[in-house]
Amino acid sequence: MTRQRGGVRRAAPKAKRKTAPKRRRARKHDEPKAVTAAELQKLQRELQRRMSPRWNPDPDDVQRSVAQLVLTIVEFLRRLMERQAIRRMEQRTLTPTEVEAVGLALMQLEKTVRDIGKRFGLSPEDLNLDLGPIGKLM
């Protein structure tokens, strides 16, 4: 069948036929390569990091798990406020009295988080949750 356009006859486009997929030939880079011990250790660390539990509360130890989550959030916010206080000090938007008050409050909050963590057997490293592919929280 032909089409006519502007007085010129053109052939209708041919329908594409389905063809079998082409077989891929093996190439040199498809062959297995030797892996070094360092590469294996790096892969092992990555697997352990990805397979470690992020926050799985143990039914027998729910209080400790909840304390870990709450203290992690409080510690994250404390660090955030500390950075903001430093930024404001550098920009000189805080009075010396405010600088002193903020510094004391942040130090007291840090001590409180550590003390509560000790009651539940949590170290500062326990308050850094693994967020999977994006890494650790802090």
Contacts of 64 by beta carbon, 8 Å cutoff, 6+ apart: 58, 120, 121, 122
Query: Is 21 contained in some domain?
Result: no
Judged against a pLDDT cut of 70, whether residue 75 lies above it is answered with yes
Query: Is 70 contained in some domain?
Result: yes
Query: Is 46 contained in some domain?
Result: no
Query: Is 71 contained in some domain?
Result: yes
- Quote the pTM value: 0.52
Let me know: does 49 contact 55? Beta carbons within 8 Å: no
How many domains does one find in the chain?
1
Length of the chain: 138
User: What is the per-residue pLDDT for 51?
Assistant: 61
Domain containing residue 86: 61-134
pLDDT (tens digit per residue) in 6-44: 555 666 666 666 666 666 665 655 666 777 888 888 887
User: What is the per-residue pLDDT for 104?
Assistant: 94
